[in-house]
Amino acid sequence: MEIYIDPDIRKATTLPSTFYKSQSIYEQLLEEILVPSWQFVGDSGLLPELSYAYPFLLFEDSVDEPLMLVRDKEDTIHCLSNVCTHRGMFLIDKPGKYRLLSCKYHGRCFNMNGKFRSMPEFQSTENFPTEMDDLIALKLGVLGDFLFTSLAPNLDFEMVFKPMLDRMSWFPFKDLVYNEEGSHIYDIKTHWALYCDNYLEGFHVPFVHPGLNQSLDYKEYDTELFDYCNLQLGVASEGADTFDLPSDSQDYGKGIFAYYWWVFPNMMFNFYTWGISVNIVEPVDINNTRVVFKTYLFKDERAKGFSKKDIHDTELEDEEVVERVHLGLRSRLYKHGRFSPTKEKGVHQFHRLLAQALNNKRT
């Protein structure tokens, strides 16, 4: 199905409801958009010591790619396939310190950097070992302590993240620490792209988030677009907490309550005066989405401004609307909508990027 989203938001229609209901489009989104995209894996605290490995599934329940992060004994971090190159056994099951990565099936061993090391009973195997017998190493993107990878990157990591890094260059990333208690996983009955649609506009804030709305100056709230990310600048209302910005920040002089960054296709980095809330939107199936909220707080008293309840209440308000939109889109009568040129620039950009990637050409 060819999907066309007019580049002129004033003329464009939103993605058709069939987009969210088609199993084949859902699978195409996984393969052509999520698999090649950069994905947040976690922070370097997952690897607390040298020679430490941390296994995980990338896009658990949908793509289910077995990977691992490894800090080798030289303190270099790798992202490796967690599948043995002999006959495909899962290599390691739990995080921990390892001397070698050894396969429990027939004893193949790999060094902690993924290079093949040894294998019994292969002395007469010809042309062995070759590079194909090493564990596949994926590219690693690093942003402060945050680690990213991609199964088949079609975009340069720096290019995707540069607008956020430039704008937030003053932000003290090094003062952050992961906070388990403030983190949460939400299971939501909706298509993953609908969750992103909702995040990408502040239009609904006065209608859906009465609490949050008290902290934001709705008139000043704006969305700035970049190639593969966008920023919703949450200007504070009177009395709300604001960043103490350095004079070389382009936002110096403004009272900023929050920077809401979205990075294509499914990542959100919300910068607050108390730290960062990272939200990763993971498809489970066409009707179910898991959203992983990871909270990083400043190590000092600045973290006091964090309220898990505020974040949680806002999230439940969002969940209620996205689940109802998911049901609404099942209507046989609704086909698609139109955009507010002032308030839905971010949603329009997302729909354009999705259509562009699916059609594999510029729209």
**Contact residues: ligand FES, CB under 6 A:** 84, 86-87, 89, 103, 105-108
Q: Do residues 165 and 226 make contact, with C-beta atoms less than 8 angstroms apart?
A: no
Can you read off the two tokens belonging to residue 78? Answer: 């790798």
- Residue 71 pairs in a beta bridge with 52, 77
First to last CA, the chain: 14
In the complex, least distance from residue 209 CB atom to Fe ion, rounded to whole angstroms = 6
Q: Nearer to Fe ion by C-beta: 134 or 318?
A: 318
In the complex, least distance from residue 109 CB atom to ligand FES, rounded to whole angstroms = 9
In the complex, least distance from residue 278 CB atom to Fe ion, rounded to whole angstroms = 16
Q: Nearer to Fe ion by C-beta: 89 or 325?
A: 325
Q: Strands, DSSP E only, in the chain?
A: 39-43, 52-58, 65-71, 77-81, 96-97, 101-102, 109-110, 116-118, 137-138, 140-143, 146-149, 176-188, 222-225, 229-235, 256-263, 267-272, 275-285, 288-298
Residue 103 interface partner, choices ligand FES, Fe ion, none, CB cut-off 5-8 Å depending on type: ligand FES
Q: Nearer to ligand FES by C-beta: 133 or 201?
A: 133
In the complex, least distance from residue 84 CB atom to ligand FES, rounded to whole angstroms = 3
Segment interacting with Fe ion, rule: CB under 5 A, options 213-221, 230-238, 311-319, 348-356: 311-319
Residue 207 interface partner, choices ligand FES, Fe ion, none, CB cut-off 5-8 Å depending on type: none
How many residues of this chain interact with Fe ion, rule: CB under 5 A?
A: 1
Q: Do residues 34 and 61 make contact, with C-beta atoms less than 8 angstroms apart?
A: no
Segment interacting with Fe ion, rule: CB under 5 A, options 28-36, 180-188, 252-260, 312-320: 312-320
3-state helix, strand, coil in the chain (%, to 5): 25, 30, 45
Beta-sheet strand order (sheet of 140-143): 39-43, 146-149, 140-143
Q: Is 318 in the site for Fe ion (CB under 5 A)?
A: yes
Q: Nearer to ligand FES by C-beta: 113 or 242?
A: 113
Q: Nearer to ligand FES by C-beta: 4 or 105?
A: 105
Residue 318 interface partner, choices Fe ion, ligand FES, none, CB cut-off 5-8 Å depending on type: Fe ion
Q: Nearer to ligand FES by C-beta: 129 or 144?
A: 129
In the complex, least distance from residue 103 CB atom to ligand FES, rounded to whole angstroms = 3
Q: Nearer to Fe ion by C-beta: 197 or 318?
A: 318
Residue 194 interface partner, choices ligand FES, Fe ion, none, CB cut-off 5-8 Å depending on type: none
In the complex, least distance from residue 346 CB atom to Fe ion, rounded to whole angstroms = 12
Among positions 95-134, residues that touch Fe ion (CB under 5 A) are none
In the complex, least distance from residue 318 CB atom to Fe ion, rounded to whole angstroms = 4
DSSP letter, residue 14: P
Phi, psi of 180 (to 5 degrees): -65, -45
Label residue 23 left, alpha or beta by phi (over 0 means left) and psi (-120 to 50 means alpha).
Answer: alpha
Q: Do residues 291 and 267 make contact, with C-beta atoms less than 8 angstroms apart?
A: no
Q: Do residues 240 and 216 make contact, with C-beta atoms less than 8 angstroms apart?
A: yes
Using CA atoms, how far residue 174 sits from 17, 93, 170, 180, 323, in Å, is 43, 30, 11, 18, 37
In the complex, least distance from residue 85 CB atom to ligand FES, rounded to whole angstroms = 8
Angstrom distance (rounded) from CA 65 to CA 55: 11
Binding interface with Fe ion (CB under 5 A):
318
